[in-house]
Amino acid sequence: PARAASSGLRGGGGSAGAINAAVVGRIIRVDHAGEYGANRIYAGQMAVLGRSAVGPLIQQMWNQEKEHLKKFNELMVAYRVRPTVLLPIWNIAGFVLGAGSALLGKKGAMACTVAVEESISSHYNNQIRTLMEEDPEKYRELLQVIKQFRDEELEHHDIGLEHDAESAPAYSVLKTAIQLGCKAAIFLSERI
Amino acid sequence: VRCQLCLPQRALQASAALRRVSDEHKKEPAASSSQHQFDSHPTDHQPEQEPQGPRPSYTGQGGQESEDYESEEQLQHRILTAALEFVPEHGWSAEAIAEGAKTLGLSAAAAGMFHNDGSELVLHFVSQCNTKLSELLEQEQKLVQLGKTEKKTTDQFLRDALEARLRMLIPYIEKWPQAVSILLLPHNIPSSLSLLTSMIDDIWHYAGDQSTDFDWYTRRAVLTGIYNTTVLVMMQDSSPDFEDTWRFLENRVADAVNMDNTAKQVKSTGEALVQGLMGAVVTVSTAARALRAE
């Protein structure tokens, strides 16, 4: 079909060498939404804590998320994947979550970071498993990107823990609530 | 997205056997050679029977066919392509399909393979047009990449792509209202919607759209609107070579691109304003702090 020919990265379901467009589409859509959301969360945190002592640290983590988003923007265009309709919602929700957690102080912000990065890392791990089960060779480039990003998200998670995330007010409640939200966001962004 | 047309299950043993045979022809003829012998009978009588095979898919995915055996899907596509010639006379109907089947040397009863509301014929035609359009746009892109043609502006590109696609309707324009009503039948909506969205997505892709935010949706929605309204205008256009339609199209595309530019301007002005405001706030608060410190 002309579509498969026009963009060599997408293939019809027929040939063995072509990628599974549906699976890859979902993966890129949800990852793009995740990085977009993470960007907004750090933006919210910076808006409140930007000029505090922890500001440079948050800025550094934010910069890495910006890199991640840039990469997924490229992959999205390359694989011709549509973004999730819910992006405007994640835009606002992410900012509100970031600013809200930062208003609880530095520890609140770190707790939010820990919760979100833990969710994202386990989500990336699931994707890595899925792709490995399909065909590690075919998806080598994508796997590399996801593995690298997962490692960087884990770093953020550890930084959060180092900076007293666990002594945040209502840490376990906060963490559970945020992770539930992340699960819902992931579920929806894969589909819509 | 596969076409979800379902005829009521008129279960013919022959059809099941035929499907098995076509499946087996795709695999290596390894073990079941004796079954092969038994099942190959129905294929000899294929043209006279009415096989109820899998519905052809219209959403761009070809079936898996081995070279020497024509699958049911390929046969159905051939019949539908042949039937197009008879559409101006018989409309999008089983009669046109029957005539098409006859030109291929098959019995008119082969039209029984299809719905009698002409759905498959219309969907087949639309899918064919979309494929032709994609090929056209692909070739044009290659020419631009090789430097043989100038890259068009967005509005020029959209206009030309839509005009090229709409011109494919000209031979059938008398019967196009009937086609539209068929495409809007509830059981055809999933397929027709899928064909429409993939066509619009293709046009934007070749136009160079790289949006990864909500713009992706607004652009496609706007272009879909332009396409649909232009089709309506075209069906009532009696000017020579449809000049009125192309002028309408030009104006709508210009409007859309204008809106897009205005929206961008509003956005950047808004962002500049916000930056200015934040700067002002910081300046004032710093000054106030300095004053208090004195």
pLDDT tens for A128-168 read: 999 999 888 989 999 999 999 999 999 999 999 999 888 88
pLDDT at A114 exceeding the cut of 60: yes
Query: Residue B282: its pLDDT value, please?
Result: 85
Q: Which domains does chain A have, with CATH numbers?
A: 21-190 (1.20.910)
Say how far apart CA B101 and CA A89 lie, in whole Å: 53
What residues does CATH 1.10.357 cover in chain B?
Answer: 119-252
Q: Is B214 on the interface with A (CB under 8 A)?
A: yes
A3–B60 CB contact, under 8 Å: yes
Q: Which residue has the tokens 């106030």?
A: B288
Interface test with B, best of A3, A10, A69, A95 (most B CBs within 10 A): A3
Is domain B119-252 classified as CATH 1.10.357?
yes
Q: Using CB atoms, which residue from B131, B213, B214 is nearest to A2?
A: B131
| Range A86-105 average pLDDT | 94
A-B Cβ pairs (cutoff 8 Å, strict): 50
Residue B213 at interface with chain A, using a CB cutoff of 8 Å: yes
The reply to whether B28 touches chain A by the CB within 8 Å rule is no
Which residues of chain B make contact with A76, given a CB cutoff of 8 A? 212
Q: What is the pLDDT of residue B33?
A: 43
Residue B121 CA to residue B97 CA, distance in Å, equals 8
| Single-letter amino acid code for the residue at A157 | H
pLDDT of B18: 47
Q: A-chain residues within 8 Å CB-CB of B64?
A: 14
Q: Measured between alpha carbons, how far is A171 from A177 in angstroms, rounded to an integer?
A: 10
Question: pLDDT digit string (tens) for A12-34?
Answer: 444 456 888 889 999 999 999 99
Q: Which residues contact A187 (CB under 8 A, 6 or more apart)?
A: none
Does residue A85 register a pLDDT over 50? yes
pLDDT at residue B116, rounded to an integer: 84
DSSP secondary structure letter of residue B86: G
CA distance A99 to A169: 16
In whole angstroms, what is the distance from residue B260 CA to residue B268 CA? 12
In terms of DSSP H, where are the helices of chain A?
2-6, 21-49, 55-78, 87-103, 106-134, 140-162, 171-191
Contacting residues of A for B212, CB less than 8 Å apart: 32, 72-73, 76-77, 83
Give the per-residue pLDDT at B71: 87
Across the interface, whether the CB atoms of A13 and B61 are under 8 A apart is answered yes
- Secondary-structure percent of chain B, ordered helix, strand, coil, rounded to 5: 75, 0, 25
The string of DSSP letters for chain B reads ------------HHHHHHHHHHHHHHS---S-HHHHHHHHHHHHTGGGS----PPPP-SSPPPP--SSS--HHHHHHHHHHHHGGGHHHH-SSHHHHHHHHHHTT--GGGGGGS-TTSHHHHHHHHHHHHHHHHHHHHHHHHHHHTTSSPPPPHHHHHHHHHHHHHHTTGGGGGGHHHHHHHHTSGGGHHHHHHHHHHHHHHHHHHHT----STHHHHHHHHHHHHHHHHHHHHHT--SGGGHHHHHHHHHHHHHHHHHHHHHHHHHHHHHHHHHHHHHHHHHHHHHHHHHHH-
* pLDDT of res. B70: 78
pTM tops 0.90: no
User: From first to last of its 294 residues, what are the pLDDT tens digits of chain B?
Assistant: 444 444 444 444 444 444 444 444 444 444 444 444 444 444 444 444 444 445 555 655 455 555 557 788 899 999 999 999 999 999 999 999 999 999 999 988 888 889 888 999 999 999 999 999 999 999 999 999 998 888 899 999 999 999 999 999 999 999 999 999 999 999 999 999 999 999 999 999 999 999 999 999 999 999 999 999 999 999 999 999 999 999 999 999 999 988 888 888 998 998 899 889 888 988 998 899 898 887
B191 contact partners, CB below 8 Å, separation of at least 6? B1, B3, B4, B5, B58, B59, B123
What pLDDT, on the 0 to 100 scale, is given for residue B25?
46
